[in-house]
Structure 1
Amino acid sequence: MGFVHLHVHSQFSLLDGALTIEALAPAVKAIGQTGVALTDHTNLYGAVTFHKACKEQGLHPVFGAGLWVQPEGVGFKDPANELGGYHLIALIEDKTGYKNLNQLITRAIFDGIYYKPRIDLELLRQHHEGLIFLTSGMRGPVRAPWARGEPDLARRRLTELAEILGPEHLYLELQDVGLPGDDLANDGCRALGQEFGLKTVVTNNVHYLKPEDAPVLDLLQCIGQGVALHDERRRRPCTDQLYLKTEAELRALFPDDGEAIDRTEEISERCHFKFDYGVYYFPASTPPDTQEGADTQANWSYFYNAFPPPRDLALPVPAGADAPDKPEGAEGSLNGYFAWYSRQGLRHRLRRIPEDRHPEYWDRLELELAMIAKMGFAAYFLIVAEFINWAKDHDIPVGPGRGSAAGSLVAYAQRITDIDPIRFELLFERFLNPERVSMPDVDVDFCQDRREEVIEHTRQKYGREFVSQIITYGKLQAKLAVRDVARVCDLNFNDADRIAKLIPNELGITLEAAKKEEALLRLYEGDGRVRRILDLASSIEGMTRQTGVHAAGVVVADRPLVQLAPLYRDGPEGGPVVQFDMKSAESIGLIKFDFLGLKTLDQIRDAVKLIARNEGATSIDMSDIDIEDTKTYKLLIDGDALGVFQVESSGMRELLRKLKPSCLDDLVALVALYRPGPLNAGMVDDFIDRKHGRKRVEYPVPALEPILRSTYGVVVYQEQVMQIAQVLSSYSLGEADLLRRAMGKKKPEEMAKQKERFVSGAVKNGYDKDKADGIFELLAMFAAYGFNKSHSAAYGYVSYQTAWLKANHRAEFMAALMSIESANTDKILIYLTDCKRAGITILPPDVNESLRPFDVPKNARNTIRYGLGAIKGIGDAAVDAILDARVEAGGRFRDLMDCLDRLDLKRVNKKVLENLIKAGAFDWTGHARAALFAGLDAAVSAAQKEQADKASGQVGLFGMLGGGGPPAPRFRPPDEQEWSLGKRLGFERDAVGFYLSGHPVEAFAENLGRYVTCRLGDLSDEREGAEVTVPGMATASRQVRTKRGDKMGFVTLDDGTGTVECVFFSDAWERSARAFKDDGVAVLVKGELEKTADGCKILAESAEPLAELIESRAREVHICVDHQDLTAARVTELRGLMERCAGSTPTMLIVERAAHSRVTMRLPPRLCVLPDERFRDGVASIFRRNDAVRLK
């Protein structure tokens, strides 16, 4: 006999296992063992991956889990002993055991959480069949109490377990892993085995592969427990023996327990459960109590009700019937109903397609129907069509398509997609290949804010026990590993943050790759602490740290999911989540769908609603807009694409200007081409040059012109590779899809086979061998960059829809866009700037006029009113209270007190009111913001008292008695001088995230042209590496020390058109830090522009206060005022200010009159001034305008 490890913890025993499944199977094979178990804590997360890994190595897999048992019942909670109860190992014998372990794990997680998931003896009694149990280690029911001198407790626990499980399904574990008490516990297990007639079995409680991996486990456990490595109070490991021992090592440790070692193999052989692959658990695909496939009215009715067509395709239901009569020619089987549904849908689609093209559509449909039926996927399509058409019938926006599903005419006919695959020359075989059968994968975009409704509909339709979301595993990727290790090594947050930020923001980057970055490598080589952190982080990199819920994945089955997989939930309020990741869940037959949220669909819906409301017209059908609209292409050619789906980045906008798209096909190609591969290979420039005639459009052979004409002879799409193989070498499209896959994977042996097939086929068709060789190599090169045209067409169409809205209904489009992005102040600032450039007026928030979202008032169509929901600190409850008060009490508030009297002050608290005042939402009262702010406490107190009096009935009682004297005088805000311009704008920025009614930089607007190269909103249009000089206010700054002790600075700059981060290295920071000493100072920064995936940065050379610069160079001060504002009182106030700010700069008073006329007066030398901030703010305050002072 041999030995099999039956107690093994992998990385899926989260932060308590230091080995990966991928490494486990080869390691077991290498030490000559024939099988191995996986027994992670209360989960089967890794079971499917483990099965496949063992299969690859020729090992016998034993599936199991560690369970925590609370014998007093899962309701028992002992605050003094969080580790109450004991640990058992459960191993799966057969399918019954698998279902029972699923139940135990699921019930532990859903019903038994107290510090950890627990089961009790009653649950064990109900779900123990098909399972073999081992008594675990020092936290088990026997070893721990025996070792600490409590044999009676060990006997009592063993008696309970033996009574439930029986001697053939309960084994006593023997372990020698270097822990105190191991020998004593082993003696106890042997003695109890004799006493109870139970057998012993040797295990090693494996947590890592080699003894030298013990510190890795220690590190992971510290992260999990949230304690520092050097903390003397923590529970420290006292062994390095929890590794994958050889059989010889274990026989040496247990010379007298040979049978207990041999018994591991016996148990392994008894555990014959394996997952079934290639089966699918489609829900609602089999009519109850009828013969599947029978052509009956009952079957027809069943399928019609299970998968009803969209509302406008529905058939009339006779009185008293539960479904329509089966149409003539329709079949009552699953495939028959599927075919009827598809044909019915196509008839509806063909109403918009010229009649002479109908035969092409019908031929394609019948071909696809036959393929889908043959592959057994009719139910899949019907399930997807049902929830998509339910959403559409309930006015939930659904995207036109996503991924390769847009290539299916059946999907188009069933309204799963809204992209005509024949119009866009899309291929069904790119979606479903009859020569490589695999489950279809339809990803669906729903609007973000109603996506959950569709998932809930699916739960209700199929039953909550039949529907689940999918788990995800959060890994210790490079940055997270560094931060976690730094925390347990007690490195301060700033230093840890500095190290982590030097790791590039590249998906999947490893620490080894990151150390090639010069800055990180210097730190690694020059700082011992950093070296230790990075080395420790490398040891745990890639381990699973935590679980989560997949953002989109949902699985559905034909039976309660717990029969097919254990379930998990993310927190006490979470719903069921299947414990297998997406690939594993699909591989064991669970039917997976992706319910994705795409906020662009919310934006389109909201814009269309605004347009319909303002124009008093029926809603625009966005699937029927003119795809040759001149205004839309003008907008795209100009690169005016901020907010346009997929093309709003600076790189895309630059490409739009170069490409000058003239048709939808150009936009579709652009979505496919804007990726690193095609850009770096020069394909994009080649495409543009060919479009505009700067390069000749050529085709490798004339027969390829129909395939490559729309892309000017450039191979852009994977579908083109497939079509070329079909035309030149007589591939079927199924074969051609295999060629595409082979070219994408670049496996030499597979490529050699495909090349031989391609070239020989071309030669048979009369093409020259050398020419065929050359075309194959050309395709192989392009295939590395080729994109899925089906996805590109679907998303290109959404891009066009948003561009059409912006070109034809700009204000509504931008209002909807800003409402969707209201939490992102950086984006709002960029979009507001875009609106202003286009001549759209931005009205401030107003408690009388604003809605929750940004709005376009009906009587001011080129105007956007700022939304209350975009003001910071004002939650939904407060906004609802304001809107409710406006409606319930007859509309507008008369003044501040009327507003406070009518508001529910429990929902609208003082902090909310302060932010509303700061944002300008009470400016309509005519009172200064400073006065409203200063008087708010008294106003709120007065309103609260009045509301309390009304609630207690006092007001009504006194009124009835006819007494009470005259009404109390209404509250009036104090006569407070308005805040200075800088303070007012600063408060505005606090309330909305940026300067709204103006910007401190605007005070220098007339002078900026002499100093700046561009504004921040235009930085993305500048070239990489350009020397730039920009103005702005520092909204955030921090100083750090380098490893050499030098200081460097990071400053976020805002100029009212955009924001940018400026990086000051030590020399530059030494020169510039003083510019950021005081808050609220406008500065001028000079430096080099750096473009990254995250946006623009400036590597700054210098910074200086803008006012000082302009003041030092000002030759004259112009004070610009309107003649109506030039009252005697204000003139007196101005003279006093000028005397207080006396200086040497001459002053001109410019009085502006109607019809653009003005009077200029040079003031006497005694009124020369120092035009500093105090003076500029003073003038702005006197005349209530930000641009009153201009320096010349």
Structure 2
Amino acid sequence: MKFSPQINLRSCYNFQESLIKVPDYIDFAVRNNFKFAFYSELNSMYGVAEFVNLAKKNNIKPIIGLTLEFEHQIAILIAKNEQGYQNLTILSSWLMNENNHFNFDFQWTKFISDNLIMVTNSLTFKNSVKELIKTNDIYFNVVDLRKISYLEDKNYETFVILNAIKNNLTIAEVQNIGHEHYLSDEELLKLNVNLDINNKSLLEIANKCSFELFSNRQWNFAKFKTPQNMPSGNFLRKLCEESLNSYLLFAKNKKNPNVDYFERLNYELDVIYKTGFIDYFLVVWDYVKYARENQIMVGPGRGSAAGSLVSFLLKITTIDPLQYDLLFERFLNPKRVSLPDIDLDFQDDKRDLIIEYLFEKYGADKVATIVTFQSIGLKSAIRDVARVYEIDLKIVNEIAKLFPSFVVNQSFAEIINKSSKLRKYQEEYPEIFDHASALIGLPRQTGTHAAGVILSDVDIKNIVPIRIGYNGINQTQFDMKYLEPLGLIKMDVLGLRNLTTLQEILSSVYKSEKKLINLDEINLQDNETFVNLQAGKTSGIFQLESPGMTNVIMKIKTNSIEDISIASALFRPGPQEMIPEYVKRKFSNVPVEKYLIDKDLKSILEPTYGIIVYQEQVIQILRKVANFSLAQADLVRRAIGKKDFQKLHAAKNEFIEKATENNYQIQKAKMIWEWIEKFAAYGFNKSHSIAYSYISYWLAYLKTHYPAEFYCSLLNGVTGNVEKTSQYLKEINNYGIKIIKPSIKNINFNYIGFKTALIMPLTLIKGVGIEFIRKLREQYKSNPQIMDSVFSLVTLMFNHGLNKNVFEALVWSGALDCFGYSRSTLVENYEEILKFANFNKDIEIINNNLIPELTNYEDKEEILLNKEKEFIGFFISSHPIEKIRTEYSFLKAHKIINLLNKKGNFIIIGYVSAIKEKNDKHGDPMAFIEMSDETENIEITVFSRTFKNFKNDILLGSVLCVEINIDSFNDKPSFVLNKIIKIIKN
């Protein structure tokens, strides 16, 4: 069979209307020897860059088009040249604005020029452009214009399923899906068109197009407007020199006396000038300045930018790179001109203000966020297809559970082959598996890149098509990897929750103590802070709170910012193997020289006890031994990291040659090279590690000295997460901080922290919504008498959302304890209270003398605790295990918190709060159970043999005395159930 290119091919980027992925289309074109291929989405151009890129790589000429449709009339506009491409991007941008809708009112024709070709089956379309496009560039009814939505006839049924998914139909409800939307061979094409005219026309169109999307692109980055139109280079130097003079004058304790700051500054500025990135630095300086002036917290630095003195002097970063031996070449290498990459963190609740500032300053048409594509995942594909076939939901859930949540380097078929249960389901429901496998990876909808922002010096839609995104801000239709090749520079403006936490803590400290804390001025050698870190008090601390990282922090007895940095750099796959060796060396009295291949490396490796931890150390070793420039050394370091064997071979020869010239024996030079090559691939970016370690330290410092305010912010960040909330509240007890339970008289949406107390918010209570709390606050402002008694409260609020369910939630959570009644009394007398409320509903001032006596009911502790857990999610007043532990003291059970760093068999008493059953690799049932006591929650593995013996005794809500085995797995404590000793409560 012979195939010809077809022009109206829709890719999967017309979401859920096509099965054609761009790589599959190009593969088809290659197999059928296409010399050229067409690509035209309806209205959008999402996949154009991917199509052009892959077509060129496979020596196929890409022809870019855009499809218009109106009432079954079709026109495809094709770019003859770059101007034609711009016509398409501008037209697509107009069409992808939800305020614009295509019709024949001729608005769209203002984007048309004679740089376009039109192919159409519509006389109306033809007549619309006859004055705008050359007559011989309008092709009317001469080529096949069938919409192509799948590559081969065998894909038809899957295409029907896709249509059903999009329109929320079942297979029985799908109607009128044509069977002709696939790439037809020439024999079939003859049935629709004159094949000779069709093929001749397509070839003629292809020959008229000569446009290279990715060639001859220049950088299009926003120009910074300097004061009095001062040359931008002069302005940048002025800012830096003024900042450096001030720094050297006032920050004597920080500056490094062994280096010349002005020499480093001049060198960096020279590189920045030569590489053409002056405006880049000024733009970043400007929006960071805006953030600081508007109390938006900015991180100390991120990535390699912290290695730049210019960044530091502009206050883009706050780490002196010379103090920590950070290298500019790791950031901007004069021997490898690539884009600078200043990624910055801002407090996440105000990140949007930065974007809005850029939008306002540089103009709506020159700022854009970046599109992402959310594709159909493995589990969702199974669920979507099963819904179309109306498969029982219980069965669908069982199938979906058998697939992993995250798939790395495994195909759909490989996953099924590894599971006997999945293979069985595949035999029973082959249609689900067949169609789902074809849907996986198809884009379902667009999203927004978490951080990327484009700033251009020209209208962005002249370079790439855009769409209107969140908050009316433009968004590129091309994804991130195609923007730089088109001359657009991405800047990462990231939101970091930990910075919001820091800002909230500082604000709380100011409110409670009227103390302004400047993080740049706190003591970086605070002994109490490091004592807490060494004790493993790392929860809520950025980077350090995972069990494995906590273990490293404790093992190395962290006592400096540098220690935090080293721990972070080592705690990754690969370097983790060096942690025991690092600990051994740190606490031995062996001189570092004993670990070095050559004594000349001492100054570089002494801080890390002879172990290569950082990429910067690799660069410094290459310079020290072979006299490589820092720029050249960084190129070698990159080659090692990427395992670029061709470059490595050349670099090795040059290294050995230059090392011998530098008086190293050839054998020694070879040994050093092999040693570098072995460990350099694991090296971490010290600039990033040091900068982020400051955030870790700041949080640890504030936790140590302002625990109430610290935990207040932490708790506000995990609202709704019962497990984390419960954990943090338990920890607060260890600081002697009073926890004030939710109360109707504290009308708070968030936790409020003071020096010695923490007030819990009403929003914690299940069934009490934000809207009710808002109305309560409004009523209280207008009439404070609402809080005089429970009768006043109900009277004034029962027409504002206080129904029986809300009332009971408030009672059982303890929020109405302030009125002096037992909780059972209030619940049992609800109708009596409601009668009073109804009688007094029109009275502005309630006469407290008329309040009736209520029948008294005594509370039972067990009921109170269970109700508290039901309505808040965890125990507040006390934990039932506390009383049980006293009653069963003869069992000699340990508190869980005291076992987290132990190994061996131990007895605990715990409350079963969650049970997750699954099958092990042999298909036998096992379980993971969550148990808690008054000190901690843990997950305990119950292997199949044990689960078989004790399954009937492990019930949700039961209290058990069990023996567990504690070991370590991946530097984390692991807990395994040995046996149940006693069932205390079932």
Q: TM-score, normalised by structure 2?
A: 0.90
Q: How far apart are residue 414 of structure 1 and its match?
A: 0.6
Structure 1 residues 584-593 or 382-391, which shifts more?
584-593
Aligned counterpart, 1:778: 675
1:343 aligned to 241, 257, 270, which one? 241
Q: How far apart are residue 825 of structure 1 and its match?
A: 1.7
**Partner secondary structure for residue 487 of structure 2:** coil
Say if 2:111 is the partner of 1:127: yes
Aligned counterpart, 1:323: none
Say if 2:583 is the partner of 1:688: yes
Deviations 1:407-445 (A, max 9, x none): 111111111111111112111111111222222222211
Alpha-carbon distance between aligned partners in 1 of 2:83 and 2:474, rounded to the nearest angstrom: 22
Q: How far apart are residue 840 of structure 1 and its match?
A: 3.0
Aligned counterpart, 2:543: 646
Alignment of 1:243-642 (within 5 A): 243=183, 256-276=194-214, 278-285=217-224, 300-302=227-229, 332-350=230-248, 351-353=250-252, 357=257, 360-506=260-406, 508-512=408-412, 515=415, 520=419, 523-524=422-423, 528-529=427-428, 533-534=432-433, 536-569=435-468, 575-617=473-515, 619-642=516-539
Say if 2:916 is the partner of 1:977: no
Say if 2:728 is the partner of 1:831: yes
Change (3 A) 1:919 1:972: farther
Name the larger-Rg structure: 1
Change (3 A) 1:760 1:218: farther
- Name the amino acid aligned to 1:128: I
Alpha-carbon distance between aligned partners in 2 of 1:436 and 1:671, rounded to the nearest angstrom: 28
Alpha-carbon distance between aligned partners in 2 of 1:598 and 1:64, rounded to the nearest angstrom: 40
Aligned counterpart, 2:166: 224
Q: Does the 8 Å contact 2:68/2:74 carry over to 1?
A: yes
- Name the amino acid aligned to 2:204: E
- Name the amino acid aligned to 1:126: K
Q: Does the 8 Å contact 1:251/1:261 carry over to 2?
A: no
- Name the amino acid aligned to 2:692: Y
**Partner secondary structure for residue 558 of structure 2:** coil
Q: Does the 8 Å contact 1:470/1:579 carry over to 2?
A: yes
- Name the amino acid aligned to 1:470: I
Q: How far apart are residue 597 of structure 1 and its match?
A: 1.5
Q: Does the 8 Å contact 1:300/1:333 carry over to 2?
A: no
Q: How far apart are residue 357 of structure 1 and its match?
A: 2.9
Deviations 1:171-228 (A, max 9, x none): 34xxxxxxxxxxxxxxxx4xxxxxxxxxx12466444445544455444444333344
Say if 2:29 is the partner of 1:44: no
Aligned counterpart, 1:1128: none
Say if 2:873 is the partner of 1:989: no
Alpha-carbon distance between aligned partners in 2 of 1:547 and 1:40, rounded to the nearest angstrom: 15
Q: How far apart are residue 377 of structure 1 and its match?
A: 0.8
Q: How far apart are residue 666 of structure 1 and its match?
A: 1.0
Change (3 A) 1:887 1:414: farther
1:1083 aligned to 948, 960, 981, which one? 960
Change (3 A) 1:970 1:628: same
Alpha-carbon distance between aligned partners in 2 of 1:376 and 1:543, rounded to the nearest angstrom: 40
Alpha-carbon distance between aligned partners in 2 of 1:823 and 1:133, rounded to the nearest angstrom: 56
Aligned counterpart, 2:76: 89
- Name the amino acid aligned to 1:60: K
Alignment of 1:1009-1048 (within 5 A): 1021=901, 1030-1037=908-915
Structure 1 residues 559-568 or 360-369, which shifts more?
559-568
Q: How far apart are residue 517 of structure 1 and its match?
A: 9.1
Aligned counterpart, 2:93: 106
Give unpaired runs (5+ residues) of structure 1. Answer: 70-83, 136-141, 143-153, 173-188, 190-199, 288-298, 303-331, 956-965, 1109-1172, 1174-1192
Say if 2:897 is the partner of 1:1000: no
- Name the amino acid aligned to 1:685: P
Q: How far apart are residue 371 of structure 1 and its match?
A: 0.7
- Name the amino acid aligned to 2:628: Y
Aligned counterpart, 2:626: 729
Q: Does the 8 Å contact 2:3/2:32 carry over to 1?
A: no
**Greater RCO, CA 8 A, separation 6+:** 2
Q: How many residues align?
A: 979
Q: Does the 8 Å contact 2:402/2:422 carry over to 1?
A: no
**Partner secondary structure for residue 122 of structure 1:** coil
Alpha-carbon distance between aligned partners in 2 of 1:621 and 1:1018, rounded to the nearest angstrom: 36
**Partner secondary structure for residue 723 of structure 1:** helix
Alignment of 1:1176-1187 (within 5 A): none
Deviations 1:26-46 (A, max 9, x none): 442342222212212332112
Alpha-carbon distance between aligned partners in 2 of 1:801 and 1:522, rounded to the nearest angstrom: 50
Q: Does the 8 Å contact 2:376/2:442 carry over to 1?
A: yes
**Partner secondary structure for residue 357 of structure 2:** helix
Alpha-carbon distance between aligned partners in 2 of 1:591 and 1:425, rounded to the nearest angstrom: 28
Alpha-carbon distance between aligned partners in 2 of 1:122 and 1:815, rounded to the nearest angstrom: 59
Alpha-carbon distance between aligned partners in 1 of 2:838 and 2:83, rounded to the nearest angstrom: 66
Q: Does the 8 Å contact 2:364/2:473 carry over to 1?
A: no
Alpha-carbon distance between aligned partners in 2 of 1:635 and 1:516, rounded to the nearest angstrom: 48
Deviations 1:365-400 (A, max 9, x none): 111111111111111111111111111111111111
Q: Does the 8 Å contact 1:819/1:870 carry over to 2?
A: no
Q: How far apart are residue 86 of structure 1 and its match?
A: 4.4
Structure 1 residues 620-629 or 527-536, which shifts more?
527-536
Q: How far apart are residue 1009 of structure 1 and its match?
A: 6.0
- Name the amino acid aligned to 2:238: W
Change (3 A) 1:9 1:800: same
Alpha-carbon distance between aligned partners in 2 of 1:65 and 1:940, rounded to the nearest angstrom: 67
Change (3 A) 1:204 1:804: same
Q: Does the 8 Å contact 1:478/1:510 carry over to 2?
A: no
**Partner secondary structure for residue 668 of structure 1:** helix
- Name the amino acid aligned to 1:18: L
Aligned counterpart, 2:790: 896
Change (3 A) 1:685 1:1039: closer
Alpha-carbon distance between aligned partners in 2 of 1:568 and 1:945, rounded to the nearest angstrom: 59
Deviations 1:267-300 (A, max 9, x none): 1233334335642222243x6xxxxxxxxxxx64
Q: Does the 8 Å contact 1:251/1:258 carry over to 2?
A: no
- Name the amino acid aligned to 1:761: K
Alpha-carbon distance between aligned partners in 1 of 2:940 and 2:376, rounded to the nearest angstrom: 30
Give unpaired runs (5+ residues) of structure 2. Answer: none
Change (3 A) 1:973 1:522: farther
Alpha-carbon distance between aligned partners in 1 of 2:647 and 2:866, rounded to the nearest angstrom: 65
- Name the amino acid aligned to 1:127: F
Deviations 1:718-738 (A, max 9, x none): 111112112212222222222
Q: How far apart are residue 1070 of structure 1 and its match?
A: 5.6
Q: How far apart are residue 635 of structure 1 and its match?
A: 0.9
Say if 2:611 is the partner of 1:714: yes
Change (3 A) 1:785 1:1042: closer
- Name the amino acid aligned to 2:218: V
Aligned-residue CA RMSD (Å): 3.7
Q: How far apart are residue 1051 of structure 1 and its match?
A: 5.1
Deviations 1:541-567 (A, max 9, x none): 333232211222222223343333322
Q: How far apart are residue 942 of structure 1 and its match?
A: 5.2
- Name the amino acid aligned to 1:376: G
Q: TM-score, normalised by structure 1?
A: 0.75
Q: How far apart are residue 1094 of structure 1 and its match?
A: 14
Aligned counterpart, 1:293: none
Alpha-carbon distance between aligned partners in 2 of 1:978 and 1:575, rounded to the nearest angstrom: 60
Deviations 1:907-959 (A, max 9, x none): 76665444333321221221112223344566467557756555xxxx8xxxx
Alpha-carbon distance between aligned partners in 2 of 1:453 and 1:27, rounded to the nearest angstrom: 47
